[in-house]
C-alpha cells in the first residue's frame, strides 16, 4: 500500500541554494524516515523523526513533522552536486513494514 | 558499517526461467526484506522475514517466493519469470529493535 506522497516529483536548483521536499501521509504514525537514493543504487537512511517531535537536524538536513496536517518536509541547506539523488519518505505501518512514497528527484546544477 | 550485498547488479533472464536473487547481510539483523522499485511507484514490499525460516507476505507477493535458511541470507525466487517482473529489486535488513533499514545496491532484472 502506498501512503507517503512526495512533492514535488522533481526539483532542479543551483548549487548553494536550499532544497525543500515535502511528504504527506494518510494514517497515524509512530515515526517518519527520509532516505536518499543515488542513481540506480540502494537507499541510504538520512534521518528519522518521531511523532512527538516537531523538528530535527542532522548536518545540513532539517526535517519537520506536522502530525495535524500529516505532513513532513526535508530541507537541505547549501546544496552540493553530491546531493543530486532521489529522496523518499517512509512511514511505519507496523513494526515490520514501512510505507514508501514515490520520491522526489533532486538535481543540483553546478 | 552494515553491509548488505546482493548477488548480481544486473540480470537478464528469459520468460519462464526460474530466477534466484540472493541477499546477504553481515550485521546479525533479525529482519530482512525484499522490495521491487518501479518508476513512479516507490518501493513495494514483496516479502519480509523476521527470523530464520519465517516469512510474511508483503503487498505484492504473487509470482514470488522467498527462503531464509540462515539468519544472514534471504533469497527471492521468481518461479517462472514474466516480463512484468522486469524491475529493480532491493534487499534490506533491519535490527528488530530499530526502525532504520539498510539496503543493498539493488539488482536490475530484465525479463525478455
DSSP string, B40-70: TTEEEEEEEEEETTEEEE-S--TTEEEEEEE
Give the cell for residue B27.
Answer: 550485521
B-chain residues within 8 Å CB-CB of A40? 88, 106, 108
Chain A with chain B: Cβ pairs closer than 8 A: 52
Quick one: average pLDDT of B91-110?
94
Give the cell for residue A61.
Answer: 538536513
B-chain residues within 8 Å CB-CB of A21? none
CA distances from A27 to A3, A69, A82 (A): 8, 11, 33
A-chain residues within 8 Å CB-CB of B23? none
B66 in A contact zone (CB under 8 Å): no
Which of A98, A99, A103 is the best mutation test for B, with the most CBs of B within 10 A?
A: A98
What does the pLDDT read at residue A7? 83
Quick one: average pLDDT of B86-102?
94
Q: Who has greater pLDDT, A97 or B73?
A: B73
What does the pLDDT read at residue A2? 43
What does the pLDDT read at residue A55? 98
**Could you give the CA distance from residue A84 to residue A19 in angstroms, rounded to a whole number?**
11
What does the pLDDT read at residue A95? 60
The closest CB to that of A96, out of B4, B31, B106, belongs to B31
Task: Find, among B106, B102, B59, B79, the residue nearest to A94 by Cα.
Answer: B59
pLDDT digits (tens, 9 = 90+) for A48-71: 999 999 999 999 999 999 999 999
Distance from CA of B107 to the nearest CA of A (A): 9
pLDDT digits (tens, 9 = 90+) for B9-62: 999 999 999 999 999 999 999 999 999 999 888 899 999 999 999 999 999 999
Query: What is residue B99's DSSP assignment?
Result: -
Q: Which of residues 30-59 of B touch A (CB under 8 A)?
A: 31, 40-45, 48, 50, 56, 58-59
What does the pLDDT read at residue A3? 54
Is residue A1 pLDDT above 50, yes or no?
no
What does the pLDDT read at residue A4? 65
The closest CB to that of B103, out of A4, A42, A103, belongs to A42
Confidence of residue B88 (pLDDT cuts 50, 70, 90): very high
Which of A8, A42, A86, A105 is the best mutation test for B, with the most CBs of B within 10 A?
A: A42
Amino acid at each position: 500500500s502506498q501512503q507517503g506522497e512526495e512533492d514535488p516529483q522533481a526539483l532542479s536548483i543551483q548549487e548553494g541554494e536550499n532544497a525543500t521536499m515535502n511528504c504527506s501521509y494518510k494514517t497515524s504514525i509512530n515515526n517518519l524516515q527520509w532516505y536518499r537514493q543515488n542513481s540506480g543504487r540502494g537507499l541510504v537512511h538520512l534521518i528519522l523523526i518521531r511523532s512527538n517531535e516537531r523538528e530535527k537536524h542532522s548536518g545540513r538536513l532539517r526535517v519537520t513533522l506536522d502530525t495535524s496536517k500529516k505532513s513532513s518536509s526535508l530541507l537541505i541547506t547549501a546544496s552540493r552536486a553530491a546531493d543530486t539523488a532521489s529522496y523518499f519518505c517512509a512511514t511505519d505501518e507496523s513494526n515490520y513494514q514501512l510505507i514508501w512514497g514515490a520520491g522526489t528527484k533532486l538535481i543540483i546544477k553546478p | 558499517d552494515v553491509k548488505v550485498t546482493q548477488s548480481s547488479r544486473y540480470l537478464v533472464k528469459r520468460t519462464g526461467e526460474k530466477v534466484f536473487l540472493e541477499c546477504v547481510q553481515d550485521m546479525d539483523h533479525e529482519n530482512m526484506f525484499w522490495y521491487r522499485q518501479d518508476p513512479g511507484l516507490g518501493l513495494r514490499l514483496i516479502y519480509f522475514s523476521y527470523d530464520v525460516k519465517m516469512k510474511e507476505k508483503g503487498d505484492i507477493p504473487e509470482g514470488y517466493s522467498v527462503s531464509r535458511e540462515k539468519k544472514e541470507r534471504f533469497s527471492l525466487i521468481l518461479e517462472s519469470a514474466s516480463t512484468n517482473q522486469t524491475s529493480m529489486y532491493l534487499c534490506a535488513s533491519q535490527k528488530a529493535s530499530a526502525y532504520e533499514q539498510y539496503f543493498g545496491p539493488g539488482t536490475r532484472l530484465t525479463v525478455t
